[in-house]
Amino acid sequence: MTRISPRRLLLTVAAMLAAAAIGACSEQLDAGSACPSLCPGLSVPIKDTTFSPILSFDTTLVGYPSVGLEEGIPLASRGDTLEVRGVLRFDTLSATYTPPSDSARPVTQVDTAVLRMRFNLTQSRLPEWVRFEVYDVDTAAVDTDVSAVLSLFTPGRLVASRTLTRAEITDSLRIPIAGSWLLPRIAGAKHVRFGLRLVGAGPVSLRVHTVETGLPADLRYYVSPDTAVHQVVAALQSLTPLEPANFASDFRDYSIAVKNGLPAAGSLAFTAGGIPARRAFLRFNVPQWLLDSTTIVRATLQLTQMPQRAYDAADTVTIRGQAVAATSLVTDLFRASLLLVPRGTFVTDSIRVAPADSGVRTIELNGLLRVWKSAPDTARTSPQRAIVLTQDEEGLHGAEVRFFNAKAPAAVRPRLRVSYIPRVTFGVP
């Protein structure tokens, strides 16, 4: 899993901002507003040109956000179309407790244990009844071995379950956990790792809050009948993996996409969104003369949406373009797609569509072309001339938006429409 240095990203963004400022100044010098009053006979023509093909490379990358960085676990069960499960880890349950005014004692009983979760009911799909199932998914396999975890969702590993009607579902849930199951794991200092599965009377989906949202799950239980001994409230904690440093914290809670029954996008499209989430990486081939010898008035990327009629096809989602801050030294596309300029910088607008829609969608790239004008494409320290298309609520929504790529027929492939003023030169008549 690639780690991105915040300091390096900040320096790269600062350099891009400085380049944009320099570019803006040079454009003001090329076409100053005072010129028409000083030279009344001079007209400045604005030309309009469409470039196609404009992309030198495009592809779809899968696997966002990184494990454990999801802003929610999107539990879902939709038959053959989509299934998502979750994992909650409680690796540091203390085997001792200390009564008031006494010394530490070993935990010899566990009473009234509950797993508490909180939900984001936005965009949930709830049939007449749903059942939350909790499994023991502790395994010695490496943390990234998803198949090993999924193999433990068996009847013999079922720890607890709770069935609710649609009317009974609120923004929180407590699932009782048997003390007889929990006690030997506390006494033996074993990991307690729960696998979550959601099933229902029909297609169902629901988001569980995570550490990233500030409302994580917890495990609560009593270890003594003495009312002076408070209830233990155990927070999510993961002790593995050991390397790289601090990586274990990402595994405190995370989601697993078991299946995604969307039809393949094919070789003529790139996509954004879905579960697991996809990002489209677009690298541009902008003519150098356009950057060097003109003042760009407007630059609009035109994309043709490919209709996709699977689940969530009617739900509207937001697609955004973000400038790539990675330089040409970063050849790993997955890593480059994480080194992005913050949203709203250079690429300021977004696309709001439903996956089943079709037609031309536009993204304004004026500010980004100014940056590319001031940063030579040949410089190894310059940002790549590329953008990444991402979906809001990435990794939380089954909807996936598709666009025709550079291999598609000419009428629907990506193109760049540019309005520009040719550089004006002055001389002695």
228 and 90 in one domain?
A: yes
Residue 183 within a domain: yes
239 and 135 in one domain?
A: yes
* pLDDT score at 24: 45
* pLDDT score at 428: 53
Helices (H), 268-382: 288-292, 333-336, 366-374
Structural domains of the chain, count: 2
* pLDDT score at 148: 97
276 and 403 in one domain?
A: yes
* pLDDT score at 29: 37
* pLDDT score at 41: 52
Radius of gyration of the chain (CA): 27
* pLDDT score at 290: 93
Residue 342 within a domain: yes
Boundary (domain end) residue, out of 187, 220, 251 = 251
Length, in residues, of the chain: 429
400 and 329 in one domain?
A: yes
* pLDDT score at 324: 95
pLDDT in tens, the chain (429 residues): 444 544 444 445 555 554 444 444 444 434 444 444 445 555 678 999 999 999 999 999 999 998 888 999 999 998 878 999 999 999 999 999 999 988 999 999 999 999 999 999 988 999 999 999 999 999 999 999 999 999 999 999 999 999 999 999 999 999 999 999 999 999 999 999 999 999 999 999 999 999 999 999 999 999 999 999 999 999 999 999 998 878 899 999 999 999 887 888 889 999 999 999 999 999 999 999 999 899 999 999 999 999 988 777 788 999 999 999 999 889 999 999 999 999 989 998 899 999 999 999 999 999 999 888 877 766 677 889 999 999 999 999 888 999 999 999 999 999 999 999 997 655 555
Residue 209 within a domain: yes
41 and 14 in one domain?
A: yes
How far is Cα 165 from Cα 132, in angstroms, rounded to an integer? 11
Residue 1 within a domain: no
Please give the residue range of the domain that contains residue 116. 73-251
329 and 208 in one domain?
A: no
The strand pairing partners of 359, in sequence order, are 305
Residue 258 within a domain: no
Token output for 37? 């009053």
Boundary (domain end) residue, out of 228, 251, 274 = 251
If residue 21 lies in a helix (H) or strand (E), which one and from where to where? helix 6-30
234 and 188 in one domain?
A: yes
* pLDDT score at 81: 83
How far is Cα 191 from Cα 61, in angstroms, rounded to an integer? 34
Residue 427 within a domain: no
If residue 146 lies in a helix (H) or strand (E), which one and from where to where? helix 146-150
170 and 97 in one domain?
A: yes
78 and 217 in one domain?
A: yes
130 and 225 in one domain?
A: yes
234 and 279 in one domain?
A: no
| AA identity, residue 337 | S
